[in-house]
Amino acid sequence: MIPAGAACAIAAVAALLLLLGGLVRAKRAARPARRAEAPAPAGRRRWAARPAARAGEAPAASPPSHRGDPRAIYAYAAHVVGQSLAFHGSYRAAAASLRDVPLDWTPPGVRLLLMSNLAQWQLCAGDVEAARRLLPDLCEERAPASVRPLVRGARAAVLVRTGDAEGALSLVGRSDGERDEPSEVRQRYRITRAHALAARGELAAARAELRRVVDDAGIDELCRWIPAGGPARATMIELIDAG
């Protein structure tokens, strides 16, 4: 979780980023249209996303060690902006908000949390390959104990979307509590379990998992995870339509 003491700084930076983005868009909109303006090369876009690089600073020798480090504040702000975009269904933009933030700018204590959210946003944006490339980073052994269930769930969600149903089940288990998951991630585990079971042809078991989600959290929880797709998506839609 983001340290509570940094919340005001994060919100202020996020608001500043949004304000600056709006000013830039307004300025561009006021310019005459250019018929043959070439898009900026990918390398230039990545450079523009790195404030330290723009200032000519050398890469840091060590990750941020305190919440006031400008690199950490930038990474936190990018995450806050991404969460807001994801909440409104703009998953591709949400993923873009974190994708170009250098990993060494993110404090180690929250790095795996940010990577887990990025993987989920990429799945919801339909970019399964980009989510698959994050699998080496989604290592729960390297995460703080409080974040490990979330990292495990993100890894399982990516595995089931890339065809490894068995690998996903080994992470979320075949039933509630098998992996001692906290209640905060239980619905996510159930949905991923349903996808894995559906991929194995166990459709009745998959439907039962989704019914548990509806009974405990309502159909809004299914709606929230529909964009990520998966083998049980058709069953999720049926349950949503049935109310």
What pLDDT digit, counting tens, does each position of 98-138 carry? 988 888 898 888 899 999 999 999 999 999 999 999 999 99
Q: Which residues contact 176 (CB under 8 A, 6 or more apart)?
A: 186, 189, 190, 212
* d(C-alpha 237, C-alpha 243), whole Å: 10
- CB-based burial of residue 19 (10 Å sphere; 0-12 exposed, 13-18 middle, 19+ buried)? exposed
For residues 74 and 13, the model is more confident at 74
Q: Is the pLDDT of residue 7 over 70?
A: no
In the chain, the amino acid numbered 33 is A
Percent of the chain with pLDDT over 70: 75
Indicate the pTM of the whole model: 0.74
| Residue range(s) of every CATH 1.25.40 domain in the chain | 128-243
- Write down the CATH number for the domain with range 128-243: 1.25.40
pLDDT given for residue 109 in this prediction: 83
What is the average per-residue pLDDT within 193-213?
97
- Tell me if 121 sits within 8 A of 157, measured CB to CB: no
